[in-house]
Amino acid sequence: MNTEMATLLENIKKDYLNWTSVRTALANHGRSELTDINKSMIVEFNDGLTYKTGSKYIKIITGSAGGGSSVWGFVVNTDNDKKFKKGDILKPAGWAAPARNAARGNIIDGGYTIRWTGPLYL
């Protein structure tokens, strides 16, 4: 699971970089060179992306030291779930628990689509 979690975090970081680059290009009439502020924001986002492993779920957290934090999503961390399989990506229902309506992909199987803002809606 460590390799799959590292890949998920890298995919989240890549999506944030891509989003920042596209927004910068739109704001600068096609010039996509990142400003020092953009670069600083990317570093801050990347540094604030962490996860905590629990017995049932892995909680992915985004945030910064000065700006607070929020839950990006959850990954199922057990083989004993009645509805989901290990590695399923779930949207957060709140800080402490995932929304258990449907998986948004699986980090072990791959092929999932996510955004830096969180797992996609159905």
- Asked whether 4 and 108 are in contact (CB, 8 A), the reply is yes
Condensed to tens digits (0 to 9), the pLDDT of residues 93-115 reads 999 999 999 999 999 998 899 99
Percent of the chain with pLDDT over 70: 89
Query: 83, 87, 116: which is closest to 101 by C-alpha?
Result: 83
Condensed to tens digits (0 to 9), the pLDDT of residues 28-46 reads 666 667 888 889 999 999 9
**Assigned token pair, 14:** 């890549």
For 111, phi then psi, to 5°, come to 75, 15
Is the model more confident about 68 or about 75? 75
Q: What is the DSSP string of 78-92?
A: -S--SS--TTBEE-B
